[in-house]
Amino acid sequence: MSTDSRACKRPLRRVHSPRNDRAAVRACVIQLNSQDNVGANLERVRTRVEQAASLGAALITLPENFAFVGTEDEKRQVAESIAKPGPIVQALLELAKCHRVHIVAGGFPEQSGDAQRPYNCSLLVGPEGIVAAYRKIHLFDVSLPDGTVLQESKATRAGSEPVVASVDGVCVGMTVCYDLRFPELFRKLLDGGARIVTVPAAFTLTTGKDHWHVLLRARAIENQVYILAPAQHGKHPLGRQTNGKSIVIDPWGDVIAQVSEGEGIAVTDLDFTYQDRVRASLPCLSHRRI
């Protein structure tokens, strides 16, 4: 299997931006503490995207639930159609166009045809509009040791298709939060040509403190990809508490940028020449037998 992923390959559904192969891209992860007020959350998003763009970031990532964290009934009410953008999608489109950047907008409620169960959608937008949409495949249904019970499938419809999209000639694989625990999805994205995989999340404090960075580094190492993992941090409505620790990891598994406590951003350069050297010096991807 070739490790040359400069062109997104055929197996997956893909949507392309204009072709322009690049040796590097400046990327950003944004860490938020989103609440149940969409308007206020979007203002915080605007502030952070403007900050990232001012530092030269061309690929900016937002965490899961960037626009809303609250009750399931309220979530259903704020769900939007991509075909007919509401306040959430419109704000993303305006930011991408204004700052001439690409934004991976974590997860937000997208109308699915089932009024009770919107998708958890990660939307990739650029200066020219919507590039790709990924609907979260793996839904988080768990009872945690601290007594927290989460049943995402009760109010969320699962997606079914892995997505790799081209951003200026660089293939970006898209996931959301709990997808991180399923390495087979990351292999699918790798087979689709991914050089970068985005993992927007709202990892719980209980699981995040033990598993978040370990799993992210594992996915980066085994697939020799850059990982961009923007996360929610702190206390949210309904007693939810998230881990934060937004991070960028390189194809060797080294942490090259991280956000500290609270809201903030981390900006760093992703060097694809270095990625090629990693893949050439340790050609495990070409040694696959299964």
Q: What is the 3-state secondary structure (H, E, C) of 177-223?
A: HHHHHCHHHHHHHHHCCCCEEECCECCEHHHHHHHHHHHHHHHHHHH
Cα–Cα distance, 268 to 257 (Å, whole number): 6
Q: Is residue 125 part of a domain?
A: yes
How many other β-carbons are positioned within 10 Å of the β-carbon of residue 27? Answer: 27
pLDDT surpasses 80 at 197: yes
82 belongs to a structural domain: yes
Lowest mean pLDDT among 65-79, 109-123, 147-161, 192-206: 147-161
Q: Cβ(288)–Cβ(40) under 8 Å?
A: no
Is 64 assigned a catalytic role? yes
Catalytic residue, chosen from 75, 136, 188, 245, is 136
126: containing domain: 24-287
The answer on pLDDT for 20 being more than 80 is no
Does residue 18 sit within a domain? no
Query: Which residue out of 121, 177, 245, 263 is catalytically annotated?
Result: 177
Q: Is residue 244 part of a domain?
A: yes
pLDDT of residue 134: 98
The domain tally of the chain equals 1
43-59 pLDDT per residue, tens: 999 999 999 999 999 99
- Is residue 9 assigned to a domain? no
Looking at residue 231, which CATH number applies to its domain? 3.60.110.10
Q: Is residue 146 part of a domain?
A: yes
What's the confidence (pLDDT) of residue 8?
64
3-class SS of residue 161: coil
pLDDT at 234 exceeding the cut of 80: yes
Q: Is position 4 within any domain?
A: no
Domain annotation covers residue 6:
no
- Specify the pLDDT at position 142: 83
Whether 11 shows a pLDDT value over 70: the answer reads no
Segment holding 95, helix H or strand E: helix 87-99
Active-site annotation holds for 74: no
Q: Which of 64, 80, 110, 152 is catalytic?
A: 64
